[in-house]
Structure 1
Amino acid sequence: MEKESSSSVKSNKFIQMTLTFLLSECCSNAARLFLRLFVGILMLTHGIAKIENFDTLVDTFPDPIGLGTLTLPLIILVEVGASILVMVGFLTRLALIPLIFSMIVAAFLTFPTFALATSELPLMYLGIFITLLLAGPGKCSIDYLLDKAYNRK
């Protein structure tokens, strides 16, 4: 009986410590850093693939909003440039705006009819980008360091 009570106390203490950590600001900042790096790296791979296949894509890339030959270079700039800004946490919320816009276009305007099968990936990116826009970059970011330095004066 005494052993069960001792292990129960240890178990409760472990649960309490785990919950305290998961609800801490440190964990929240680590989660935002992870999310920024995760989605940034994944989006960056799409941009790099477009750069590598530029000659092939330039004639076939969809132009759902009528920008003509500017569409492909602009989406490459967004997928590479904005992704890097998000990963390092510099001008994060501003960098997320073109990423969000591009995912809305990809999900809802690129194909003639909306289907979850073709829009699932852009919708997932859209959800992550909106989450980061609302949550902010966190303390593990250049934005935070600049804000801290600016507000110190």
Structure 2
Amino acid sequence: MTILRIWLGIMMMKHSSDAVLYGGMDDFTNWVGTLGVPIPHILGALGKYIEFIGGAFVSLGFITRFFASLIAANLLIAISLTEGLLAFFYADIPATYMLLGIAIVLNGPGKMSIDSYFVQKVFKNT
């Protein structure tokens, strides 16, 4: 699970870095507005920040289940807005990332994670 967790986190950061780090947020949120999303500058930016910050936390394995669930929900919304019922035919990469997020939520971050380290420390000292 560790390799999949790190991969998902890095890919989420990669796919959101243009908007978050390199000034592409306005272009992205304008595009989100064309999909009929209300307050696209807020919700579009929120989605990209979930991908970027959530990706960083997931790749480190810190507060992993929470951020993996946010990523999975974010991708479900994105897929449904852009592809609808044809999602699994045309949105195979976002759907795969969404399913990875769900798998991480269900299985946890793995042994090589900050979450696992804290759990071992807490239960070792009790």
TM-score of the superposed pair, with normalisation by structure 2: 0.84
State the 1:65 CA deviation: 5.0
Q: C-alpha distance in 2, partners of 1:112/1:123?
A: 12
State the 1:57 CA deviation: 2.4
Q: C-alpha distance in 2, partners of 1:135/1:123?
A: 18
Find the counterpart in structure 1 of residue 80 from structure 2.
108
Letter in 1 for 2:6: L
1:56 aligns with 2:27: yes
Q: C-alpha distance in 2, partners of 1:146/1:40?
A: 20
% identity of equivalent residues: 24
In our comparison, the structure showing a higher alpha carbon Rg is: 1
Find the counterpart in structure 2 of residue 126 from structure 1.
98
Find the counterpart in structure 1 of residue 41 from structure 2.
69
State the 1:99 CA deviation: 0.4
State the 1:86 CA deviation: 0.5
Specify every segment of 5 or more residues in structure 1 that has no aligned partner in the other structure, as ranges. 1-31
Letter in 2 for 1:129: G
State the number of aligned residues: 122
Q: C-alpha distance in 2, partners of 1:138/1:108?
A: 30
RMSD: 2.0
Do the aligned partners of residues 149 and 72 (structure 1) sit closer, same or farther apart at CA in structure 2, a change above 3 Å counting? same
Q: C-alpha distance in 1, partners of 2:84/2:98?
A: 20
Contact between 1:44 and 1:79, CA under 8 Å: does it hold in 2?
yes
State the 1:128 CA deviation: 0.9
Tell me the alpha carbon deviations over residues 89-117 of structure 1, each in whole angstroms, 9 at most, x when there is no partner.
01000111110111111222234653444
State the 1:147 CA deviation: 1.1
Find the counterpart in structure 2 of residue 81 from structure 1.
53
State the 1:64 CA deviation: 5.5
TM-score of the superposed pair, with normalisation by structure 1: 0.70
